[in-house]
């Protein structure tokens, strides 16, 4: 029997979702995956009043909120990455994210004192997890969580697991550029995932990765930003300064087995600068990275030389 390939698009987790799935039960797998994505969005969105994240935020400084297994796990992983990245990744970034409002119609340059005020509220050490009853509490009033830097990775892993359950043979899971290459292509060859040219608009690539069963996640400054006085203010905020990160990195791609790791790491390493970022990723086994800096240089970790090709010569110099 010829297995059919189905495609589906929808909007969830604040982004465009594209699924391409081959398998006898592709239709059922897609339906379950889309349902799971909106379930994750309902629980983890900081924009929905009834989400578990909003409930935690509303109770900040007062009481704890019991959450489901999945929200608990994502927060726990977020804290793990906060520690690993010494606070460059921080899920309590929400007060600053809402002050800057980048990527929305309300985006504008905040006053320095406002930034300083919000900065006081950001500290992942104030997230108190209680495994015994699966509850989360924020230590101080007005503190708030934002899982925007990690939830899509978790969601991609969940879709992957659903696809396994339905014996899917080949799939491409694309959650707004957060890619999971499931299996190989329909013909059995590796998936070819394009790495966005960060100086161009969407869809123009600087290189291509050949992967099977891997997550490919990129954090960049080229999608959500505004420009003022020639400076680009993008959506990855440095929790040490309260301003959009100004490291030389303008694009950080992480290749890993699990997308939650790729998502958490890509947002965090973006901030810590190229030297630290290279050292950190080289030290984690099974995780590789591609970094592009403002001066158009490309840095790759040792494990991906064979699977990554730069297709735009302008990025070859180092
Ligand atoms: P995208 O969601 O655009 O694919 P990222 O995974 O890099 O990109 O996540 C960026 C989002 O993460 C921001 O929109 C914001 O919600 C949140 N965020 C911003 N700065 C940080 C930070 N330093 N630590 C954790 N999350 C952050
Ligand atoms: Mg991320």
- Residue 45 placed within a domain: no
Q: Which of 223, 236, 241, 247 to mutate to test the pocket of ligand 1 (most atoms within 8 A of CB)?
A: 236
Measured between alpha carbons, how far is 178 from 2 in angstroms, rounded to an integer?
Answer: 29
Secondary element (H or E) of residue 161? helix 151-165
Does the beta carbon of 237 sit less than 6 angstroms from any atom of ligand 1? yes
Residue 246 to residues 99, 238, 239, 242, 273, Cα–Cα distance (Å):
18, 8, 12, 11, 9
Domain boundary among 138, 165, 191: 138
Q: Which CATH number goes with the domain that contains 188?
A: 3.10.520.10
Specify the DSSP element, H or E, that contains 37. Answer: helix 26-44
| 3-state helix vs strand vs coil in the chain, percent to 5 | 35, 30, 40
**Token code pair at residue 183:** 């299996």
- Ligand 1 neighbour 92 (Cβ under 6 A): no
Which of these, 1, 312, 20, 301, lies nearest to 175 by C-alpha position? 20
CA 274 to ligand 1 center in whole angstroms:
18
Are 123 and 162 within one domain? no
Residue nearest to atom 27 of ligand 1 (CA): 149
Mutate to test the pocket of ligand 1, among 85, 148, 270 (most ligand atoms within 8 A of CB): 148
User: For position 316, what pLDDT does the model report?
Assistant: 85
146 C-beta closer than 6 A to ligand 1 = yes
Residue 102: the pLDDT is 78
Indicate if 288 and 166 belong to the same structural domain: yes
Run means of pLDDT, 10 residues per run, the chain, 318 residues: 85 96 97 98 97 98 98 98 98 96 78 95 98 98 98 98 97 96 96 95 91 96 80 89 93 98 96 97 97 95 94 84
Nearest to 170 by CA among 189, 196, 145: 189
Residue 219: CB within 6 Å of ligand 1?
yes
Q: List the CATH number of the domain containing 94.
A: 1.10.3980.10
DSSP 8-state code for residue 165: H
Structural domain includes residue 309: yes
Q: What is the pLDDT of residue 303?
A: 94
Dist CA 187 CA 180 (whole Å)? 17
List, as one string, the DSSP characters of 77-113.
Answer: HHHHHHHHTTTSS-GGGHHHHHHH-TTSTT--PPPHH
Which of 80, 106, 138 delimits the end of a domain? Answer: 138
pLDDT at 2 (0 to 100): 60
User: Does residue 304 share a domain with residue 265?
Assistant: yes
Same domain, 211 and 78: no
Indicate the pTM of the whole model.
0.96
Residues 28 and 59 in one domain: no
Helix crossing, 26-44 with 69-84: angle to 10°? 70
Q: What is the domain extent for residue 110? A: 52-138
pLDDT of residue 225: 80
Whether residues 222 and 161 fall in one domain: yes
User: Is 149 part of any known ligand binding site?
Assistant: yes
Q: Is position 276 within any domain? A: yes
Q: Total domain count for the chain? A: 2
Measured from the Cα of 176, ligand 1's closest atom is: 4
Is 267 annotated in a binding site? The answer is yes
């Amino acid at each position: 029997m010829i297995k059919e390939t189905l495609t589906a698009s929808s909007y969830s987790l604040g982004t465009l979702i594209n699924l391409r799935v081959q398998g006898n039960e592709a239709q059922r797998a897609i339906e379950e995956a889309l349902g799971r994505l909106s379930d994750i969005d309902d629980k983890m969105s900081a924009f929905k009043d009834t989400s578990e994240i909003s409930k935690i935020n509303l109770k900040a400084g007062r009481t704890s909120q019991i959450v489901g297994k999945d929200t608990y796990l994502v927060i726990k992983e977020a804290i793990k990455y906060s520690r690993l990245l010494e606070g460059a990744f921080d899920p309590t970034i929400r007060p600053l994210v809402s002050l800057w409002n980048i990527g929305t119609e309300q985006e504008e340059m905040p006053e320095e004192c406002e930034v300083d005020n919000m900065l006081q509220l950001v500290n992942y050490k104030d997230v108190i997890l209680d495994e015994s009853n699966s509850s989360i509490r924020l230590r101080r009033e007005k503190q708030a969580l934002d899982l925007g830097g990690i939830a899509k990775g978790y969601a991609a892993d969940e879709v992957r697991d659903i696809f396994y359950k339905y014996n899917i043979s080949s799939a491409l899971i694309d959650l707004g550029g957060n890619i999971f290459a499931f299996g190989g292509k329909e013909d059995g060859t590796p998936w070819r995932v394009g790495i966005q040219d960060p100086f161009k608009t969407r869809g123009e690539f600087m290189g291509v990765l050949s992967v099977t069963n891997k997550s490919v996640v990129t954090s960049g400054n080229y999608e959500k930003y505004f420009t003022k006085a020639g400076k680009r203010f993008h959506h990855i905020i440095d929790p040490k300064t309260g301003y959009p990160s100004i490291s030389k990195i303008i694009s950080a791609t992480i290749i890993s087995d699990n997308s939650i790791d790729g998502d958490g790491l890509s947002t965090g390493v973006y901030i810590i600068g190229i030297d630290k970022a290279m050292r950190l990723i080289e030290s984690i086994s099974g995780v590789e990275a591609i970094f592009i800096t403002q001066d158009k240089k490309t840095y790759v970790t040792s494990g991906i030389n064979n699977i990554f090709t730069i297709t735009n010569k302008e990025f070859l110099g180092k």
